[in-house]
């Protein structure tokens, strides 16, 4: 075991998870891209991919598997065993949290790997922007907004955003840094005034945990990967396999490759 | 009529084309985004969209229609009449060039609007980078390469590139300017040495026209929108409707919106 989980290579981390280690992946495999997993039957795949194409900020697709395949170009492991924990959904309803989904996997499942804000949070910290939920040891607060996504067939729903309170003199830095990462939600969708997004109370997020907003700090909102999960589940696919929250797919891709000039 | 075709608004240009004007669209509607059109039956749409997701440099999807729809979010006209000319393909074979495809349109056709290098050529000219094929009044030279695309189901084939000869002191400028436009092929895929791409003779392009390369100029290669067209036709869809070369879809989107910081 490495003392610092950031020192693991992706293949080492995946082997540990395959062997049964169950842990959130924040901080693991420094510099490697972590991803959301959503696997759905092939019959649902076009709408998921089209929804992502139409809503690239909340749904940055990093890779898509062949139907039934258990690895992808950027994930040289076994999608059924190499994440630390999974959530299985039947007809859109949670049907259990497990650490191995081999018994559920089907030959027609298409796996979508979708970018995750862990990538840009590392870049924000490196640029000196504090991240409150990390300071407080909490999950990031997330909110349903009154902004609809562009729908794709039956797939639709509100944009979900995450919020990070930023000191006014660092707002421009936060915008600049995250805009370099369009593959992981990119620049904020909104700066300040939660009510314009239909958010009544920052202390009551729809997902995750509330965080302290200090006097004078500006709430800054980024598109969130919960958006496609919520839209997909609302269409009630017969089977969907997702990562458990915070227990991401650790890919072989490098965060640096996702940055644009 | 405007004296300068660049002064037309997109809706004015589309009305002229709908009324029968048949002209290449280079230079029309300055600042508005022109796009390649590929419309295929819904049964083929997932593979086209997945091919594009896996090969974003040659296949930058700007918009996708609903099945059977005749407009899209960025094209507020009639896709069946408002391009100056179309090519119709049956079973992957050219079946005629027409200026109205209403009689061919089907309720299950999905239209893909794909970015076109006209956008970044304007930006190159504005940055002082000369564009030889424009100077010579020719079509840009395009070449099949020995680099395969990532395939998607039955869709696959070689990367096709366009080539522009650039003076050495402007190569970095050309890279910098085009890298700001990932939605229209982005940065070059290759600078110099055609043989490394499997190109034997720059004077014999596979598509378009040869252009003069002056002593000391560097051939610079960009991913090309012919790539997806060639891949789609190779799968022989029963029906495909495309723009005629150079006779693009003029959208309501603005080139400036496609630039990244």
Q: DSSP letters of chain A?
A: --SSGGG--HHHHHHHHHTT-----TT-STTEEEEEEEEEEHHHHHHHHHHHHH-TTT--EEEEPPTT-S-BTTB-S-TTTSSS-EEEEETTEEEEEES--TTT--TTEEEEEEE-THHHHHHHHHTT---HHHHTT-PPPEEEEEEEPPPBTTB--EEEEEEEEE-GGGHHHHHHHHHT-GGGT-S-SEES-GGGGT---TTS-SBS------TTPEEEEEE-THHHHHHHHHT--SEEEEEPTT--EEEEEEHHHH---
Asked if B226 is an interface residue toward chain A (Cβ–Cβ < 8 A), one would say no
pLDDT at B261: 55
Q: Residues near A150 by Cβ (< 8 Å), separated by ≥ 6?
A: A51, A54, A55, A156, B73
Token representation of residue B54: 């896996």
Query: Which of B53, B179, B260 is nearest residue A49 as measured by Cβ atoms?
Result: B53
pLDDT-based confidence at residue B260 (cuts at 50, 70, 90): low
pLDDT at B161: 94
- Reported as a single tens digit per residue, the pLDDT across A240-254 is 999 988 899 999 999
Query: Which of A64, A66, A179 is nearest residue B261 as measured by Cβ atoms?
Result: A179
Which residue from B minimizes the CA distance to A176? B261
pLDDT-based confidence at residue A210 (cuts at 50, 70, 90): very high
- Residue A126 has a CB neighbour count (10 Å cut-off) of 9
pLDDT at B139: 85
**B 152-171 near A (Cβ less than 8 A):** 153
Provide mean pLDDT across the span B231-254. 90
Query: What CATH superfamily is the domain B5-116+237-258?
Result: PSTPO5379-like (3.40.1640.10)
Residues of A in contact with B173 (CB under 8 A): none
Q: Could A49 and B46 be called an inter-chain contact, meaning their C-beta atoms sit closer than 8 Å?
A: yes
Range(s) for CATH 3.40.1640.10 in chain B?
Answer: 5-116+237-258
Q: Could A150 and B73 be called an inter-chain contact, meaning their C-beta atoms sit closer than 8 Å?
A: yes
Query: Which of B61, B180, B260 is nearest residue A182 as measured by Cβ atoms?
Result: B260
For residue B36, pLDDT over 80 is answered with yes
For residue A219, pLDDT over 60 is answered with yes
Range(s) for CATH 3.40.1640.10 in chain A?
Answer: 5-116+236-258
- Reported as a single tens digit per residue, the pLDDT across B76-128 is 999 999 999 999 999 989 899 999 999 999 999 999 999 988 888 888 999 99
Round the average pLDDT of chain A to a whole number and report it. Answer: 92
Asked if B210 is an interface residue toward chain A (Cβ–Cβ < 8 A), one would say no
Residue in B42, B49, B67, B257 to test binding to A, most A beta-carbons within 10 Å = B49
- Reported as a single tens digit per residue, the pLDDT across A94-114 is 899 999 999 999 999 999 999
Asked if B218 is an interface residue toward chain A (Cβ–Cβ < 8 A), one would say no
Asked if B114 is an interface residue toward chain A (Cβ–Cβ < 8 A), one would say no
pLDDT-based confidence at residue B1 (cuts at 50, 70, 90): low
pLDDT at B178: 93
pLDDT at B2: 73
CATH for A118-227 is 3.30.2040.10
* CA of B46 vs chain A CAs: smallest distance (Å): 5
Q: Could B179 and A260 be called an inter-chain contact, meaning their C-beta atoms sit closer than 8 Å?
A: yes
Three-class DSSP category at B74: coil
Residue in B47, B50, B108 to test binding to A, most A beta-carbons within 10 Å = B50
In this structure, which topology does domain A5-116+236-258 adopt according to CATH? PSTPO5379-like (3.40.1640)
Q: Could B64 and A45 be called an inter-chain contact, meaning their C-beta atoms sit closer than 8 Å?
A: no
For residue A35, pLDDT over 60 is answered with yes
Range(s) for CATH 3.30.2040.10 in chain B?
Answer: 118-227
Asked if B182 is an interface residue toward chain A (Cβ–Cβ < 8 A), one would say yes
- Reported as a single tens digit per residue, the pLDDT across B154-202 is 899 999 999 999 999 999 999 999 998 888 888 999 999 999 999 999 9
* CA of B22 vs chain A CAs: smallest distance (Å): 31
């Amino acid at each position: 075991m490495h003392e610092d989980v950031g020192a693991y290579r992706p293949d080492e981390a995946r082997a540990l998870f395959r062997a049964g280690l169950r842990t959130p992946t924040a901080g693991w495999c420094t510099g490697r891209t972590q991803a959301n997993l959503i696997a759905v039957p092939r019959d649902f795949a076009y709408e998921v991919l089209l929804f992502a194409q139409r809503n690239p900020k909340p749904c940055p697709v990093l890779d898509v598997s062949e139907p039934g395949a258990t690895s992808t170009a950027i994930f040289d492991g076994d999608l059924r065993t190499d994440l630390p924990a999974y959530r299985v959904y039947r007809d859109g309803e949670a049907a259990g949290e497990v650490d191995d989904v081999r018994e559920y996997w089907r030959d027609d499942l298409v796996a979508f790997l979708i970018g995750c804000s862990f990538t840009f949070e590392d870049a924000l910290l490196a640029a000196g922007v504090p991240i409150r939920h990390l300071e407080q040891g909490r999950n990031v607060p997330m909110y349903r907004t009154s902004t609809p996504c562009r729908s794709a067939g039956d797939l639709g729903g509100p944009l979900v955003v995450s919020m990070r309170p930023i000191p006014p003199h660092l707002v421009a830095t936060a915008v600049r840094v995250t805009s370099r990462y369009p593959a992981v939600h990119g620049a904020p969708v909104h700066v300040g005034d939660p009510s314009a997004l239909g958010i009544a109370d920052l202390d009551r997020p729809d997902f995750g945990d509330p965080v302290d907003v200090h006097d004078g700090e500006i709430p800054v909102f980024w598109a969130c990967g919960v958006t496609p999960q919520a839209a997909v589940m609302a269409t009630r696919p017969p089977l969907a396999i997702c990562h458990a929250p915070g227990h991401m797919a650790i890919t072989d891709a490098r965060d640096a490759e996702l940055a644009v000039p």
